[in-house]
Amino acid sequence: MAEQLWGGRFSKSTDEMINDFQASIDFDKRMYAEDIAGSIAHATMLAKVGIISEADRDAIIAGLKDIYEKIEEGNFSFEVALEDIHMNIEKRLTDAIGDAGGRLHTARSRNDQVALDTHMFIRRQVVEVQKLILDMQKALVETAEKYSDVIMPGYTHLQRAQPVLFSHHMMAYFSMLKRDFDRFVGVYERCDIMPLGAGALAGTTFPIDRKYVAEQLNFENIYSNSLDAVSDRDYIMEFLSAASILMVHLSRLSEETILWCSREFFFIELDDAHCTGSSMMPQKKNPDVSELVRGKTGRVVGHLMAMLSTVKGLPLAYNKDLQEDKEGIFDTIDTIKFSLAVYARILRGMKVRPEVMRRAVAEDFSNATDLADYLVKKGMPFRQAHAVSGKAVHHCIEENKWLADMSMTEFKDLSDLFDEDIYDAISPETCVKNRNSYGGTSYGQVEMQLQQAHGIMDLESAVVDDKTNKQVTVKP
């Protein structure tokens, strides 16, 4: 069993069960690149200010890069007894280069070291998530442009309400993802604060240069309070919050996808490659991926609740409870990245049935508001027009017909304001065309939304490129 690097004060070895319980290496080993990059920057700073020699610095950096290559190649054995990624790397380094490796931890604690690794890891993952959000936005725009003239029922209370363009519906999700992208911009800002140099909680007696370390690691800001630096997990809670809202958006889209591809709606068909069948019922084509995304939303929201609950009762500064921030955030990252990637594929493979959607808006009363608006434009007060339209709907239900099937005599019995132009006024195409207020579903307004979307995606792409270029990598 590996010797603990902190065991000098203890007269007994840690119980093996306790080691297993408190070890985090099984999940935090995925931060190895951040840990090594942070240690290289720390060693470089220690040599710059004269705390270690340049020879020690060079040996440390060479040893760390060798460890990085071994991990990348799968030739590194992680030991549970060493608890975490930090101790595993430091022990292997010290075994390889001797006393120089033991000097690496000068002027730092695992508390500020793990905080640094997590900041860098989340910062990198934010950019990866934003790339996937951008790709899904592109898929939504592509789908909207492909079916730009298709009319479908718009719903409230899951009841047919007013005709809308299918492209308008798709662009609603684009707007949601735009807000998601922006939320992750804020998360990045809160990740982009360097905690290293805070020590265990109170700083250090050594003459370190925190600004120099921040510059090496491309941090915009540095924590100004050492207690806050090692205990802050706001950026993780913010990430989980932004991820939860994102998943809620994907879950809503999943719900609609599941409904739309059912025989009851039959609005769309998903690609065979994105569905599964039944082991018993040969006819089945199940939207399992959409169902899984909808289901995994609860898991992500649960991780947010778990983190909020963990932090709410913690005194300053570091407490072991904060180790619980890792598994939830790692699982959330994996979940949202998969969900975004798979949904972009689903959208690009999806087929829309325009004729079914068109028939749906022709065989309902979603043009009743337009009938009322027609009367208002003829001079009737809206409340009176609303009542007349309601009576027209009631009459049609009684006669088993739709508004467009009413004769002019039937219309005239309700109001003398009706004329032949009522038939054009309540056609689905006119209902859509006339909703030309800013943000509405008219052809012109949706075209404007699509144009704006391309500009938004260009800006988002620039943000992603800029943040990608600022990520720190370990170069052998």
Catalytically active residues are 157, 278
Same domain as 386, residue 323: no
> Do 278 and 402 fall into the same domain?
no
Those residues whose C-beta lies under 8 Å from the C-beta of residue 343, and which sit 6 or more positions away, are 136, 139, 250, 253, 293
Residue at 62 is within a domain: yes
Q: What is the CATH number of the domain that holds 71?
A: 1.10.275.10
Residues 300 and 383 in one domain: no
Same domain, 428 and 311: no
- Taking Cα atoms as reference points, which of 55, 50, 97, 150 lies closest to residue 359? 150
179-206 pLDDT per residue, tens = 999 999 999 999 999 999 999 999 999 9
326-385 confidence digits (pLDDT tens): 999 999 999 999 999 999 999 999 999 999 999 999 999 999 999 999 999 999 999 999
Q: Considering the domain boundaries, does residue 7 fall inside one?
A: no
Quote the CA–CA distance of 210 and 61 in Å, as a whole number. 19
Last residue of a domain, one of 359, 376, 410: 359
Q: Do residues 158 and 94 both lie within one domain?
A: no
Same-domain status, 143 and 288? yes
pTM reported for the whole predicted model: 0.92
Q: Which of 401, 420, 403, 350 is nearest to 150 (CA)?
A: 350
- Give the domain-ending residue among 106, 141, 160: 106
Residue-averaged pLDDT of the chain:
94
Residues 58, 139: one domain? no
Q: Does residue 1 register a pLDDT over 90?
A: no
Q: Which of 232, 206, 35, 215 has its CA nearest to residue 114?
A: 35
For the chain, give the longest Cα–Cα distance.
Answer: 101
470 within a domain of the structure (yes/no)? no
Band of the pLDDT at 6, cuts 50, 70, 90?
Answer: very low
Whether the per-residue pLDDT at 292 is higher than 70: the answer is yes
Residue 32 structural domain: 16-106
Closest CA to 464 of 139, 133, 240: 133
Domain membership of residue 445 (yes or no) is: no
Q: How far apart are CA 263 and CA 287, in angstroms?
A: 12
- Whether the ω angle into residue 243 lies within 30 degrees of 0, i.e. cis, is no
pLDDT of residue 209: 98
pLDDT of residue 94: 97
55 and 126 co-located in one domain = no
Cα(392)–Cα(409) distance, integer angstroms: 12
pLDDT of 90-146, one tens digit each? 999 999 999 999 999 999 999 999 999 999 999 999 999 999 999 999 999 999 999
Question: Do 140 and 87 belong to one domain?
Answer: no
Overall number of domains in the chain: 3
Q: Say yes or no: 261 and 350 in one domain.
A: yes
pLDDT exceeds cutoff 50 at 228:
yes
